Amino acid sequence: MTRVIKYIFYDLLRTRFILLYTLFLLVSTFAMFQIDSDPGKVVLSLLNVVLMVVPLISVVFTTIHFFNSYEFIELMLAQPVNRRVIFFSEYISVATSLCGAYVAGIGIPSLLFGADSSVFTLLFTGVMLTLVFVALAFLSSVLTRDKAKAIGIALLFWFYFSLIYDGLLLWVVYTFCDYPLEKITLTLIAFNPVDLARIIMLLQLDISALMGYTGAFYKSFFGSHMGLLFSSSILLVWIALPLWLAMRIFSRKDL
């Protein structure tokens, strides 16, 4: 598996997209620190990039890479190599390259300008979201042989979790506002990794009042060590479940 990962990783670097992605994050982070030297305000500004741009790039790049590597995958399947080895090698290579670009692009300027705990939380949530949406992109890629349909499914995942789900959640909150919805809202947010990452960051920045009447409840739960463990566990489930489904489909699929 190590040799396969190494070959895929070198192939990813040759595309230069990873370098451009790193450069984009570097320039964005440096620009934020030039505008405001307060790390807390910079992290809050970068949060929009993490919640919107990082998942979008992860799903689009992963889906395109998977279909561009189709001939290589077929060649490897002709060899005595287990399908799981090929699948996990692809996932590890893509996820590692995107996570490395993200950590370098956000982390290097933050360390130069003085990082605090909120920056490390931002790095953690960005890495977790990258792993989640790379797994979702692999799931969309193995569902169909058509590249355009796969990209459409991947973009639908991003659009749903980044935009549509929040609208549905707000509709539930305002429709049943006369009832105690704190625990129900907490459960619903667990079904969206983007919202989960956003709440972790807002609580880390101690501005939970911006989340409305449920802010105090989230503060009491997510502000504790058990809350951080719970939220991290849910994000791990969001990584493992799509990856497991994609691996099962890929193992049984007739290429």
pLDDT value, residue 108: 87
| Predicted pLDDT at 243 | 93
Which regions in the chain score pLDDT beneath 50? 209, 212-213
User: Contact 151/64 with Cβ under 8 angstroms?
Assistant: yes
Residue 75: per-residue pLDDT = 82
Q: Give the per-residue pLDDT at 44.
A: 80
Domain ranges of the chain: 2-252
pLDDT of residue 14: 76
pTM over 0.85: yes
**Residue 223 confidence (pLDDT):** 61
pLDDT score of 181:
67
- Give the tens place of pLDDT for each residue, 177-196: 667 666 777 778 888 898 88
Find the farthest-apart pair of alpha carbons in the chain and give their distance in angstroms, rounded: 62
- pLDDT per residue as tens digits for the range 207-231: 554 554 455 566 666 665 676 778 8
- DSSP per residue over 49-108, as a string? IIIIIHHHHHHHHHHHHHHHTHHHHHHHHTSS--HHHHHHHHHHHHHHHHHHHHHHHHHH
Mean pLDDT of the chain: 83
pLDDT value, residue 78? 80
